[in-house]
Structure 1
């Protein structure tokens, strides 16, 4: 009888493990994230669990419950991993480290992070990142009126397999692309050290005055991650060494409103543009767009790099004939809750607090009206008192409606119409 129970338990445990494995594989395919192993028992080598956590006695091994050990490192508060578990790649991080941004780890800087899932591929995401960088350079360096504008002369250099550098004229801003997924730069001048004959930087020692008085610096860092055909993820960080006190009083969710609105402004356009690129052919992207200005040099430089070193496409493990998914409705395409809010602890907490406040305001408006009906002729006798109580009820209700609109636009969906901007 005991042997029969153990056999049944073994079969039940195997069924649970198979179900969990399928759920993890499905979640990884849908979200593009590395799953956390949750197997209850496993085999016994160095990369596998050796103890069952549900029942004492004999451990029932199952090869499907094994977990792989990927080379990984935490750098700039981000977990990087190399998705290869074989022995020849175990030391890959010693041979080639991920791009390192020293300003993010500098204690004299503060950095605001954010993440957003996007309904278009990583190549379009990278182009959008470069275009948004141009917008920031314009805001910082060019004075113009609404109808007119000013030319931005961008020059690309140091283009090779590792990326390229794009600078604005007169050293008024720069951006560097580090292959395969990182863009970083600043609208402020790039500090260039003096160079020796062999192009190696000469050692320079900062004086005590320079150490005490640091120049204001502001950077933009974008990491563009491919998730699936027609889907990508952007992680951004904005390190700065000015206005540090603002970070103590302004919540992080407030900082996320600006970048999310900027991403929304181009989201539908880039989703459609990706399909135009696919229709024209990956090698004929230049026939689907018009890039006549020097400020488009960064876009052209990335496209040239992508064509030369990646053959204009991401090498997916399971390529299909028609890789791009169907275009959803606009409210699903530009939704913000699952693409950002659900992944952001600050925005999730803000949403929960605002919803509670909305309910409290609605309850307060009803309670004030009820109080007026009960206290009429006793506590509230004059016309002025009644008008004040009614005004309070109306104010609470109006505030709840405004808050509901604010929640919908900033945490769920906001239709971006360029004609109204």
Structure 2
């Protein structure tokens, strides 16, 4: 079997028009940011999110077009996302002020009919678009935005490819997530039994193919097998890491796109999109929420390590150059990313490079979340499929418990033995189904734990 390398085709996410790299400055606002998958966007109500702790809100107008505004009412600083959509306008729940497509205030109930709406009664608007099943927002000035610079995946448009999508929100900075996914060496240890096998942990051959303001192209392979094939890891600044490889003889292609967005200090949103052109039947027949249960477990296997890592680094206030002991055979790619931040990260609100870092204004301690409900807060509430399945499990448990109690009561007062036996049997079956529904409900709420 011969393996053909497949460096992914993808559009750059940043402007590279400057004449030399030293003359370029990475501007984090002049970039497209992934908000959510369209199928996870709720209908007929506002959708709140944030970028670098800036609160934002999405809603659709009467034409079905997405609108993005700052999530703060200029009247008394209430959250617009707590309000409702009326005739394609977003209405603040506090006093009923309504805002249109460009953030202009269109109605104030408390204002006299002949009075003019104050000029300052408006909120900032942002350009937002839909592409390849995802919602994207442009954080800079709308007149310089180019939708062609959105990092799309050409393979998704080709026949025969099947993919799955998942959105999560993690309690650590975007930089630590990107470092984690640029680290293939941890897979066989941290994900032993799920994605890897610790017996396969080995030195890796790693190469940086290209590094510039637009990102990093790299590849890696194992060293035990001299015929091992190359896997390609590409970082497209500022928010996409793509793992990609192909099997030449069969024409099989696999890709894992990991989009991330800095929601705020110690928080990042991750949009995962895996795709392939082989064994697609399995993805097609498996419910999306069932796929997510397995994917959540893999994501949560790294959670304690990354949280502990970030907490220690922030507490010491030292650079990674002082704290890390990197190996060429495992850490080459992730170190290149940290050095990329040293070179281009100065404009970011906060970042952790290899030799430099910026803590930002909001650098409070990492909050310890309620472990018993962690998966619910990290994923289920953001996912339309898992949210529906979670609610169904809750209703199912309540229904089965009610049926079990009712049948047990009827069995007590029924004199016919055959009917009594049947009622008791169905009652016990309902108890069993209630237990199954409870276990399923818990899986949508609680994170995986090794202990």
Q: So what's the TM-score if we normalise by structure 1? A: 0.71
* Distance in 2 between residues matched to 1:128 and 1:342, nearest whole Å: 24
* Distance in 2 between residues matched to 1:287 and 1:218, nearest whole Å: 37
Change (3 A) 1:133 1:60: farther
Question: Equivalent residue for 2:62?
Answer: none
Give 1 or 2 for the bigger CA radius of gyration: 1
Is the CA contact (8 Å cut-off) linking 1:42 and 1:51 kept in structure 2? Answer: yes
Question: Equivalent residue for 1:235?
Answer: 271
Which ranges in structure 1 are unaligned for 5 or more consecutive residues? Answer: 1-15, 28-35, 192-212
Question: Equivalent residue for 2:178?
Answer: 126
Change (3 A) 1:179 1:273: same
Q: Which has the higher contact order (CA 8 A, sep 6+)?
A: 2
* Distance in 2 between residues matched to 1:63 and 1:132, nearest whole Å: 54
Partner SS state of residue 363, structure 2: coil
The C-alpha deviation readout for 1:113-152, integer Å capped at 9, x for no partner, is: 111111111111112222369638999xxx9965564443
Question: Equivalent residue for 2:64?
Answer: none
Question: Equivalent residue for 1:102?
Answer: 154
Is the CA contact (8 Å cut-off) linking 1:222 and 1:234 kept in structure 2? Answer: yes
Question: Equivalent residue for 1:250?
Answer: 286
Give the RMSD, CA atoms, in angstroms.
3.9
Structure with more strand by fraction: 2
The correspondence for 1:303, drawn from 334, 338, 341, is 338
The correspondence for 2:436, drawn from 383, 395, 402, is 402
Aligned residue pairs: how many? Answer: 356
Is the CA contact (8 Å cut-off) linking 2:260 and 2:270 kept in structure 1? Answer: yes
Deviation, 1:268, is: 2.3
Is the CA contact (8 Å cut-off) linking 1:156 and 1:298 kept in structure 2? Answer: yes
Which ranges in structure 2 are unaligned for 5 or more consecutive residues? Answer: 1-71, 84-88, 222-227, 352-357
* Distance in 2 between residues matched to 1:390 and 1:293, nearest whole Å: 66
Is the CA contact (8 Å cut-off) linking 2:91 and 2:98 kept in structure 1? Answer: no
* Distance in 1 between residues matched to 2:74 and 2:230, nearest whole Å: 57
* Distance in 1 between residues matched to 2:393 and 2:276, nearest whole Å: 29
Matching of residue 24 in structure 1 with residue 24 in structure 2:
no
For 1:317-336, list aligned pairs within 5 A: 323-331=363-371, 335-336=374-375
Is the CA contact (8 Å cut-off) linking 1:70 and 1:90 kept in structure 2? Answer: no
* Distance in 2 between residues matched to 1:25 and 1:289, nearest whole Å: 42
For 1:13-412, list aligned pairs within 5 A: 18=74, 21-24=77-80, 37-38=90-91, 47=102, 49=104, 51-52=106-107, 58=114, 60-85=116-141, 90-93=143-146, 97-131=149-183, 135=187, 146-147=198-199, 149-169=201-221, 170-188=228-246, 215-281=251-317, 284-292=319-327, 294-311=329-346, 314-315=349-350, 323-331=363-371, 335-376=374-415, 378-380=416-418, 386=421, 390-408=424-442, 410-412=443-445
Change (3 A) 1:278 1:59: same
Partner SS state of residue 263, structure 2: strand
Deviation, 1:404, is: 0.9
